[in-house]
Amino acid sequence: MSNTKYVFVTGGVTSSLGKGIIAASLAKLLQQRGFSVTIQKLDPYINIDPGTLNPYEHGECYVTDDGAETDLDLGHYERFLNIPTSQANNVTTGKIYQSVINKERKGEFLGKTVQVIPHITDEIKHRVQILGNTGDYDIVITEIGGTVGDIESLPYVEAVRQLKWELGDDNVIVIHLTLVPYLAAAGELKTKPTQHSVKMLMQSGVSPDILVCRSEHEINDTIKRKLALFCNVKKQDVIQSLDAETIYDVPNLMFKEGLDYVVLDKLNLSTRKQPKLRAWNQFLERHKNPTSTIEIGLVGKYVELHDSYKSITEAFIHAGATNKTKVVVRWIHSEELTPENAASQLAGLNGVLVAPGFGDRGIEGKIAAVQYVRENNIPFLGICLGMQMAVIEYSRNVLGMKDASSTEMDSKTANPVINLMATQKEVTEKGGTMRLGAWDCQIIEDSKVFEAYKTTLISERHRHRYEYNNDYKTQLEEAGMKSTGINPETGLVEIVEIPTHPWFVGVQYHPEYKSTVLNPHPLFVSFIKAGLKHSKIKK
Ligand code: GLN
């Protein structure tokens, strides 16, 4: 039995209140007070993981070192806490049911009727405690996706009720994140939606210990008292969360409101040590006081939903702060980009990032973007599909192989410069079967990437089925596109560069997943630096 304490974060009234940011900010404060903390997300949907989801549904699919395809909130957890998450940090209803049904098929329930209570709720409790039972954490914060009152959330709330009963009120607490809307016509903040959502929680047998109230206006003492009285919490346990200028302000704002203090107090943990936020605040200082501004184009096919590229835009923020530079993103829809309009669409940019993706929609636009930046010496970073498009562009326009393509888009191409990995040939199921997670890459010293990483062996996260076709390697290298990073075991080309270009780097892996506030990703830092140089030369 470990001594781990559990903090649940539930949501009320509406979705999109930022539970992930509140959970990450609280975790940051507790971590900086010296506690070891991790954050877990429970997603009440039936998909096993978001790997099979279109990014338009819930935004980007985030990938961990151990190859889990997860909710984008795990990206926030890592960016705030600077420690890796794993398979155990994201649990879905699909995973819960899958393991219960697998056990049933093996006969493990010994003839019993398998039911939501106790079998599904037991499995939820087990998944929550897996992290605690490692003994690695003083506190596990578990965010429950969705909104209280949703049918699919019910088993989760029941599992929380049981855990609170089993482990006690000083080992399990519930933070309810809710909305206190402002009615302009009445000139008033309204507490009723919060009262209703707390009532809903209470109907399931769970009383929240702390209310975090999202609001566009200051919540005064009278309103706090009213919320406390009708939601059955102490006044000091009503924490206001006003809109912030940046998500990275939220830990400081929550500290000012005393969220970490009330949490520790309720869990009977020491409040003596204050959170050490010096490095965090140094980042904020640089982020908020840039001395230059550059504009980077982000070319992708999901640009209507910026969350589809969350880790990339956050990595720009981290790398921008390192360079004391404000990075403005110009969103460019790959389907609207052509060789004819590339010059006008990309005019004035100091760098272009061609994004990851799947399938053939928008790929010709991505290729047009690569050609333009290559020919016009604009810094380029291609990620995964973006790197593959760079190889295709070079093969077509420099090597003259007009039909060069990837077998993902054109299975019959005579020049498959990108083709299916041998290990993927027998794969029939879509879920969880890509080349996923952390793999090593050996870097050559005479390269832009070595300048960035300052080391020859790196480990980066992956999510792909197709790869650089080594049959074309000699031709491509002789024509000026160098392979500067290679997987030492398989020979898979991980990085391509054009040394005659000011900064042209394509990577098969996803550097964006590993950029954090305290460890901005070296490749993004170098890319922004190249963009800054480009902006100065132009003037
Ligand atoms: N569709 C490409 C592949 O599977 C690239 C994947 C990606 O960009 N994440 O290899």
Per-residue pLDDT tens digits for 386-428: 999 999 999 999 999 999 999 999 999 999 999 999 999 999 9
Domain termination site, one of 276, 311, 333 = 276
Same structural domain, 224 and 348: no
Q: 342: domain range? A: 290-538
List, for residues 254-304, the tens digit of each pLDDT value.
999 999 999 999 999 988 999 999 999 999 999 999 999 999 999 999 999
3-class secondary structure, 327: strand
Q: Which amino acid is at 255?
A: F
Is 144 a member of any domain?
A: yes
- Pocket probe mutation, ligand 1, options 385, 423, 462, 510, max atoms within 8 Å of Cβ: 385
Is 522 a member of any domain?
A: yes
Same structural domain, 272 and 300: no
Percentage of the chain modeled with pLDDT above 70: 99
- Pocket probe mutation, ligand 1, options 61, 354, 407, 463, max atoms within 8 Å of Cβ: 463
CA distance 486 to 13: 50
Same structural domain, 104 and 22: yes
Is 281 a member of any domain?
A: no
Residue 337 sits in a domain whose CATH number is: 3.40.50.880
Same structural domain, 424 and 451: yes
Tokens of 401: 């192989």
The pLDDT-based confidence of 58 (bands split at 50, 70, 90) is: confident
Please provide the DSSP assignment of 104-116 as one string: HHTTTTTTPPP-I
Q: Which of 58, 76, 119, 510 is catalytic?
A: 510
Tokens of 149: 């009152």
Q: Is 512 a catalytic residue?
A: yes
Q: What is the pLDDT of residue 538?
A: 55
Q: Judge contact between 260 and 26, C-beta under 8 A.
A: yes
CA distance 379 to 149: 49
Q: Which residues are annotated as a binding site?
A: 15-21, 56, 73, 143, 150-152, 190-195, 226, 244, 357, 385-388, 408, 465
Asked whether the predicted pLDDT for residue 337 surpasses 80, the reply is: yes
Q: Which amino acid is at 424?
A: Q
Q: What is the pLDDT of residue 454?
A: 98
Same structural domain, 398 and 438: yes
Same structural domain, 18 and 166: yes
Same structural domain, 270 and 320: no
Same structural domain, 266 and 324: no
Report how far Cα 110 is from the mean position of its chain's Cα atoms: 41
Q: What is the pLDDT of residue 2?
A: 67
Domain termination site, one of 223, 254, 276 = 276
Q: Judge contact between 186 and 21, C-beta under 8 A.
A: no
Report how far Cα 259 is from the mean position of its chain's Cα atoms: 24
Residue having the nearest C-alpha atom to atom 8 of ligand 1 = 356
Q: What is the dihedral of CA 245, 247, 249, 254, to 10 degrees?
A: 120
Residue 154 sits in a domain whose CATH number is: 3.40.50.300
Tokens of 400: 């003259």
Q: Is 188 a catalytic residue?
A: no
Sheet (strand 139-144) strand order: 90-92, 37-43, 139-144, 5-11, 172-179, 210-215, 238-242
Domain termination site, one of 241, 276, 311 = 276
Is 268 a member of any domain?
A: yes
Split into its structural domains, the chain has a count of 2
522-538 and 310-322 helices cross at what angle (nearest 10)?
70
Same structural domain, 253 and 348: no
Angstrom distances, CA of residue 457 to CA of 319, 339, 445: 21, 37, 10
Asked whether the predicted pLDDT for residue 1 surpasses 90, the reply is: no
Same structural domain, 170 and 316: no
Tokens of 370: 């690569």
Element containing residue 212 per DSSP (H, E): strand 210-215
Same structural domain, 175 and 263: yes
Same structural domain, 360 and 413: yes
